[in-house]
Each structure stands twice: as structure tokens, then as C-alpha cells.
Amino acid sequence: MLSKALHYEAKTFAHCWFENENGKFTKNHPLPIRAQFSSVNAIETIDYNGDEFRDLLLAGNLYQAEVETPRSDSGLGLVLVGSSQGFEVVAPEHNGLLIRGDIKAVSPIQLSGNRVGYLLGANNDQLRLVELNKN
């Protein structure tokens, strides 16, 4: 029966980005090592440094796991600055980001003074609001 069953094969479990070249997605580019620490459940495109390249805010973790599998909880949120070469990590001590919990969603919100904040939805937890430090 197993020989007749449907089989899938994973080439990687890394978090990656793909290039859209005329409607065809190609070139699998792994995100930096810090983006591989835990599961990523929420990604928001942001403008962290005001250049022409898109930047990313990542959040995640996965607390629900099988008994034999430890939970994935080492992510603390991450800001990735985009460039023509890919993405680079903005260290937490520069952006002020420290997100603990089982984050499932992120959404921007306009704050007073023309500032932007981000609402974070966590599984079985309160809604949170964070604002990034921009140097």
C-alpha cells in the first residue's frame, strides 16, 4: 500500500523569499539565520529605513505541538531591511522589538503624530501594540 500512496518531498524547511520574474516565481532565497529560529506566522511589509526597498516585520512561534515535539518558541519578532541583495537583520537593540508569545497576526495602525504602530494578535492572549524605534 505504501508504494502506491502519494509521496511528497521537502527540499527545505527554511523561511525563504521568492522573486517574481514576469509572473513566474523563481530563485528561492533563504532569509537570514535569525529568521530561522522559530516558526513565522505573521509577516507585514513595512518601510523601516525610508529607502526604495521593502522591509519586513516578522512574528510567530508555535506553542501547540504534539507530545513528542517541543514547542517552537524562540522567536522574539524580527525586522528585516530589504536591499538589492536580499534582507539583513536589524538587531533588537536598535529597533526596540521584543515580542514574546504565540503570535498569529500583525497589522499596521496609524498612531498620533503621523507615527505607525503594529497590532499583534497572539493565541489565547491579549492584543498588543508595538512601535518600532527607527534610527
- The whole-chain average pLDDT of the chain stands at 92
Give the whole-angstrom CA distance, residue 78 versus residue 68: 28
Q: What is the CB neighbour count within 10 angstroms for residue 75?
A: 24
Amino acid at 73: D
In 3D space, the residue among 38, 54, 58, 34 whose CA is nearest the CA of residue 106 turns out to be 58
Domain boundaries, the chain: 39-135
Q: State the average pLDDT over residues 122-126.
A: 92
Instruction: Report yes or no on whether pTM surpasses 0.75.
Output: yes
8 A C-beta contact, residue 56 and residue 45 = yes
Residue 43 predicted with pLDDT over 90: yes
The stretch 57-77 carries a mean pLDDT of 91
